[in-house]
Structure 1
């Protein structure tokens, strides 16, 4: 069952070919992890969505309160018998039909789709995980590059490149040739007692898991947190590299070119992340 503007529908045929998310990528989305009816980091997701809608000049309905959208998500989980399970929730907001590049309206609709997941909390994968740079196309740093929109052509082509080259993931560069993020999450480097991640001004996604880890790291006195540009040359000097997103939590990187990495910091941060979830 899919939730379209509050109505539960069986199937995926309720969107027309004139849908602006399909026709122009005029849509935003949040991918949320639900665990036994609890939406992890829901407040962060909600406020990022509201900020993104303002940047996209979408009209935010008066009904779009945090409580309303949460209740609609929970209603959708219950309709799919997932209220007591772990699930992946995709909340999409698209501008309503009409117009070409210039829309006829800034009013919006929402769609909620859910799928079952196997793990309720985050576990550290010990599997081999290799990455390399994706240099065919670059991110142009701006507010738009920080949004979770339907414009994901670079991520799609990059993912095909990774698959064709037997890689688990790729790191994306911006037009200044700085490392911005991975294809499906934010990137962190560990060198000694310094943990570094690209600044938002470099064009990386304003990830919800990124925000959670920044809060955790700031409370650990033995580590210095740095948000700054990352040169590709720094990758091979790092002791550890990991990728973050709300679905997997923390994904340690095993290898970048000839460099292999440890995962001790990843393990420690993941433990603290799960404790934070249990206490929230």
Structure 2
């Protein structure tokens, strides 16, 4: 008999096949929602303070009632308890979704939020660099607007759905996204980095890219290891074709190195170092959070 699997809705544990959203749900009707995807190690969320702060920033921008969201410590404990309840002993992906309470049409009746926690197992323990480099392309049919919402993960994701379909049609592993200035700013679900003459470049947050939690860790680790990091106003195809190395980052996978874009082929040197630094840093974070 298959083991029951659980989710958490507003602090209540439910079987994952329990209906939880009504037709009036504002995330369903209007995309009135934010979410975070969080890697968990040893049944605890990694870099949760950063995830929680980004969530609060997004809620404030969307005029959601931040006081209606439980404190970080309570949410982190709920994630850990849910992982344990589902008997997940390796690394885990957690998704925390925040959506405004029901009521109203475009104009909300209220600003309090509900929250939903889901967890699923990952195939690796610790960050693993992909053995086979990614083959990528550039999605040019639509551009990402540059606005205050661009930095956050919202339920308004049609651009990324269409980019994902393009990736699938082209048989690629990932695609790069353009902003409204036609600058390349990020991957499908990741931040973008490239290396030229042993210096690292990544788009500024003001270009419209997601304010990535992993992006923040990588920039910090690069600088701690005395590498020069330049945050720039996006890039273009010609610049990327001149780079020696390209890699993508997100909170779940850490970094993924790119082997090819168009006819260009890339090395995998710095990516190996960064992956090692990430695992060391994650282990230190877990130990420090346990001691505190």
Scaled to the shorter chain, the TM-score interval is over 0.9
Structure 1 residue 63, shift from structure 2 partner: 5.7
1:105 paired with 2:115, answer no
1:192 paired with 2:178, answer no
Structure 1 residue 85, shift from structure 2 partner: 2.3
Q: Which residue of 1 aligns with 2:220?
A: 215
Structure 1 residue 50, shift from structure 2 partner: 0.8
Please list every run of 5 or more consecutive structure 1 residues that lacks an aligned counterpart in the other structure: none
Query: Using the alignment, how far apart are the partners of 1:193 and 1:159 within structure 2?
Result: 31
TM-score normalised over the length of structure 2: 0.93
> Is the CA contact (8 Å cut-off) linking 2:151 and 2:209 kept in structure 1?
yes
Q: Which residue of 2 aligns with 1:80?
A: 86
1:57 paired with 2:102, answer no
Query: Using the alignment, how far apart are the partners of 1:132 and 1:41 within structure 2?
Result: 30
Structure 1 residue 72, shift from structure 2 partner: 1.4
TM-score normalised over the length of structure 1: 0.97
1:27 paired with 2:33, answer yes
> Is the CA contact (8 Å cut-off) linking 1:26 and 1:150 kept in structure 2?
yes
Q: Which residue of 2 aligns with 1:251?
A: 256
- After superposition, the C-alpha distances for 1:173-198 in whole angstroms (9 at most, x for unaligned) are 11111111001100000011210000
Query: Using the alignment, how far apart are the partners of 2:182 and 2:176 within structure 1?
Result: 11
Query: Using the alignment, how far apart are the partners of 2:142 and 2:161 within structure 1?
Result: 11
- The equivalences for 1:145-160 within 5 A come to 145-160=150-165
Query: Using the alignment, how far apart are the partners of 1:140 and 1:228 within structure 2?
Result: 17
> Is the CA contact (8 Å cut-off) linking 1:2 and 1:12 kept in structure 2?
no
> Is the CA contact (8 Å cut-off) linking 1:195 and 1:226 kept in structure 2?
yes
Structure 1 residue 42, shift from structure 2 partner: 0.9
- The equivalences for 1:138-149 within 5 A come to 138-149=143-154
Aligned length: 278
Let me know the Cα RMSD of the aligned residues: 1.1
Query: Using the alignment, how far apart are the partners of 2:71 and 2:284 within structure 1?
Result: 24
Please list every run of 5 or more consecutive structure 2 residues that lacks an aligned counterpart in the other structure: 1-5, 286-292
Q: Which residue of 2 aligns with 1:18?
A: 24
- After superposition, the C-alpha distances for 1:191-232 in whole angstroms (9 at most, x for unaligned) are 1121000000000000110000011011122x2100002222
- Distance change (3 Å), C-alpha of 1:121 and 1:253: same
Q: Which residue of 2 aligns with 1:124?
A: 129
Structure 1 residue 268, shift from structure 2 partner: 0.7
